Amino acid sequence: MTGKPENSSHENRSFWKRFFMFSLRNRIAFYYTVATAFLIAVVFAVIYFLVERVVYQQFDEELRSEISELFHDAHVTNYGIASLSQFRNIDIDDKGEEAADEDPDHDEHDEKEQGKVDVEFIQILDREGLMFRKSENLSRYTLVFRSGQEETIFFNSRLAGSTIRQVQVPLKDSKGLVGGYVIVAVPMKNAIIVLYDLQNVLFLSFPLIILTLFILTRLIAGRSIMPIDRVIATAEQISQTNLDQRIMMPRHRDELYRLSATINSLLDRMQDAFLREKQFTADASHELKTPLSVVKGNLEVLIRKPREREYYESKVKFCLGELNRMAQLIDQLLMLARFESDSMHSHIESVQLSRRIDEVVERMKPSADEKGIVFRLQELNDVRVAADSSMLEMILDNIISNAVKYSPSGSMVTIRVERKSNMVACHITDEGIGIPDEKLQSVFERFYRVDQSRNSSTGGFGLGLSIVKKLADLQKIRVTVASGEKGTTFTLVFPSL
Ligand code: ADP
């Protein structure tokens, strides 16, 4: 029984939720309309109250002049001091008659029925509020009396179904005691109609204005956000297969232009990353496939017919070498994957740079000695840098081993540490084959090797420097490379401690 209404109220709620939540133009139109509705309501209220005040002011002015005429007739000289008896004999029907005389079409019967509301009415009461005198035009009606008022008051009341404006003046003696009241009223017929009409116009026009405003704002908002729809439509079409598609730039250089530009540059970066990833997968598979097919080919040759022991030994040694290379490559790939998945966090601490350099150089000594390469260390002993000590060792390891790998026999590798203002820089310079200028920035890319033939002898995969770059980025170390005719210099700039 109760299920249905609950359901429909739920549907209603979700309709409104959809209406406001999922449409920007509805939201813009709604907020704009609410704000404007509030402003219009305030303006309408101000207009109404101003007109009302002007109308009442005019009536009050008229009432005031009536009162002063009455007081004049009653020979009241001092406004503040008057007694009831002074009003006993004055002619209070004079005005009414005058007004009635002025109107030739005056219908006496009607006048009686409506309480003769075309003129002013006068009523004089004693201090208890009991009738002392009243103008004849009031016939059987009486004017409203507000007891206990010690000051002159103006207010609206009803007389024979019509609205009238009244003034009630207390008659005070020299001691300030109230001895009676003079009440004068004038009909407000036309003025009330004007105020009524004004009220109706304002009340009726308000919802109409608001509705029109909402519809117009919704239309305008819809037009202004149309480019967003285009952006959404294009963005929805873009997938992995058409990553080269771009959002059309709007004509005006506004926020939408910036949004489109931002999305386009994001797409540029995504396409770049996607292509790099694709290239990386292709390179990795190629690098792993080559030694595998070499090992497979060798084993197939071995199995075809019996061979000499020496032959077996040399082939197995060769295959082991290839497998070692594969294991080394897999290690490097795993390391890269770990750094790139952000699962690796650096533990930055104060590290004594010279000690780390000494340790790496010590490890490199045997391979350097093999080629007769000597190290020249120009360190500053007390220099400490902000780094992760094991990551720093890996960086130095890669750069110094490259320096040894790509240097001719009998050359020198120089490691120089210098302090620049609040930075520390470490330069590793070799006298090797160098790197051509146009290839300098590419050496940090994965699987990049300056010269493929060069590497077959040295045995690298082109992953070492990309690992160096990743590790340096993790520790906010700036790594740069410069190369001349002969020799290459890698520079590490450490952040200040
Ligand atoms: P690899 O394992 O092949 O050495 P790296 O990423 O360490 O891979 O280096 C990328 C390429 O940059 C190398 O293949 C080599 O051609 C070049 N390279 C790196 N260091 C030096 C150097 N000190 N002198 C000359 N070439 C270098």
Indicate the pLDDT class of residue 161, thresholds 50, 70 and 90. confident
Which of the residue ranges 80-94, 104-118, 274-288, 319-333 would you say has the lowest mean pLDDT? 104-118
Ligand 1 and 463: CB distance under 6 A: yes
CATH number of the domain that 299 lies in? 1.10.287.130
- Report field, pTM of the whole predicted structure over 0.85: no
Ligand 1 and 448: CB distance under 6 A: yes
* Residue 435 near residue 483, CB atoms below 8 Å: yes
Ligand 1 and 180: CB distance under 6 A: no
Indicate the pLDDT class of residue 105, thresholds 50, 70 and 90. very low
CATH number of the domain that 465 lies in? 3.30.565.10
Same domain? For 358 and 487 the reply is: yes
Which of 396, 450, 453, 466 has the most ligand 1 atoms within 8 A of CB, as the residue to mutate?
Answer: 450
On whether residue 240 sits in a domain, the answer given is: no
Ligand 1 and 401: CB distance under 6 A: no
pLDDT tens for residues 385-414? 999 999 999 999 999 999 999 999 999 999
Using CA atoms, how far residue 439 sits from 15, 168, 402, 435, in Å, is 61, 103, 16, 7
Same domain? For 320 and 423 the reply is: no
What percentage of the chain reaches a pLDDT higher than 90? Answer: 50
CA-proximal residue: ligand 1, atom 9 (nearest): 462
Predicted pLDDT of residue 152:
93
Same domain? For 183 and 296 the reply is: no
Domain's final residue, options 293, 312, 340: 340
Q: Which has more confidence, 486 or 359?
A: 359
Find all residues with CB under 8 Å of 271, minimum gap 6, and list them: 243, 244
Same domain? For 364 and 421 the reply is: yes
Same domain? For 473 and 445 the reply is: yes
pLDDT at 13 over 90: no
Domain's final residue, options 286, 305, 340: 340
How are strands ordered across the β-sheet holding 121-126?
A: 131-134, 121-126, 178-187, 162-172, 153-159
Q: Which has more confidence, 248 or 241?
A: 248
On whether residue 211 sits in a domain, the answer given is: no
pLDDT at 104 over 80: no
Same domain? For 359 and 310 the reply is: no
pLDDT at 337 over 90: no
Predicted pLDDT of residue 372:
96
Q: What would the mean pLDDT of 158-183 be, rounded to a whole number?
A: 90
pLDDT at 143 over 50: yes
Ligand 1 and 443: CB distance under 6 A: yes
Domain's final residue, options 172, 190, 208: 190
Ligand 1 and 488: CB distance under 6 A: yes
Ligand 1 and 435: CB distance under 6 A: yes
pLDDT at 477 over 80: yes
Predicted pLDDT of residue 76:
83
pLDDT at 294 over 50: yes
Predicted pLDDT of residue 124:
94
Ligand 1 and 487: CB distance under 6 A: no
Same domain? For 354 and 458 the reply is: yes
Q: Which has more confidence, 123 or 76?
A: 123
pLDDT at 321 over 80: yes
Q: What would the mean pLDDT of 313-333 be, rounded to a whole number?
A: 92
Predicted pLDDT of residue 9:
63
pLDDT at 108 over 50: no
Predicted pLDDT of residue 458:
59
Q: Quick one: which of 164, 145, 161 has its CA closest to 153?
A: 145
On whether residue 13 sits in a domain, the answer given is: no
CA-proximal residue: ligand 1, atom 10 (nearest): 462
* Residue 125 near residue 183, CB atoms below 8 Å: yes
User: In the block, which residue shows the tokens 């004509």?
Assistant: 251
Residue 317 Cα to ligand 1 middle (Å)? 26
Query: What is the extent of the structural domain holding 297?
Result: 255-340
CATH number of the domain that 144 lies in? 3.30.450.20
Predicted pLDDT of residue 450:
84
Ligand 1 and 336: CB distance under 6 A: no
pLDDT at 492 over 80: yes
Residue 449 Cα to ligand 1 middle (Å)? 6
* Total of domains in the chain: 3
Residue 480 Cα to ligand 1 middle (Å)? 13
On whether residue 7 sits in a domain, the answer given is: no
Ligand 1 and 432: CB distance under 6 A: yes
What are the phi and psi torsion angles at 305 (to 5°)?
A: -150, 160
Mean pLDDT in the chain?
A: 86
Predicted pLDDT of residue 459:
63
pLDDT tens for residues 63-103? 999 999 888 888 887 766 888 888 888 888 755 444 433 34
- With 0-12 / 13-18 / 19 or more C-beta atoms within 10 angstroms meaning exposed / middle / buried, residue 417 is buried
Which of the residue ranges 17-26, 151-160, 216-225, 247-256 would you say has the lowest mean pLDDT? 17-26
On whether residue 46 sits in a domain, the answer given is: no
